[in-house]
């Protein structure tokens, strides 16, 4: 699996924690092909990115189908493929929130 060039990735501080539990460390916007990710997560970054990419590519899939396909994709990748995927994703990532769209153009 390759990180799709049409997906935008933003590294942002969205992690909320309560007594050490992660509540949210990632998000995606349906229809926008944009993923927001907090790198402070304790989760496997490659698996998390695969999961979010699948949400963007298949917005109508159920969460259970996304989880199943995430595992399938992740387990089929060797360490080199996982490394390449992560490097591709991070090389395109932007740090911080995207600029707000001009309301006059919206």
Report pLDDT digits (tens) over 44-89: 999 999 999 999 999 899 999 999 999 999 999 999 999 999 999 9
**Does the pTM exceed 0.85?**
no
**Number of independent structural domains in the chain:** 1
Residue pair 15/41 in contact (Cβ under 8 Å)? The answer is yes
- DSSP-assigned letter for residue 33: T
1 located within any domain = no
Domain that holds residue 20: 8-95
3 located within any domain = no
36 located within any domain = yes
Sequence-separated (6 or more) residues with CB below 8 Å from residue 73: 1, 50, 54
53 located within any domain = yes
104 located within any domain = no
Residue pair 37/12 in contact (Cβ under 8 Å)? The answer is yes
28 located within any domain = yes
14 located within any domain = yes
pLDDT the model gives residue 16: 62
Residue pair 103/21 in contact (Cβ under 8 Å)? The answer is no
Q: What residue spans of 1-106 are helical by DSSP H?
A: 45-57, 63-76, 79-92
């Amino acid at each position: 699996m390759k990180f799709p060039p049409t997906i935008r990735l933003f590294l942002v501080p969205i992690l909320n924690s309560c007594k050490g539990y992660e509540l949210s460390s990632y998000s995606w916007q349906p229809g926008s092909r944009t993923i927001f990710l907090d790198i402070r997560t304790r989760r496997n970054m490659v698996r998390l990115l695969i999961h979010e990419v699948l949400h963007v590519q298949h917005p109508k899939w159920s969460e259970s189908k996304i989880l199943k396909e995430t595992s399938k994709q992740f387990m089929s990748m060797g360490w080199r493929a996982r490394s390449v995927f992560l490097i591709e994703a991070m090389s395109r990532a932007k740090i911080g929130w995207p600029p707000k769209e001009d309301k006059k153009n919206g």
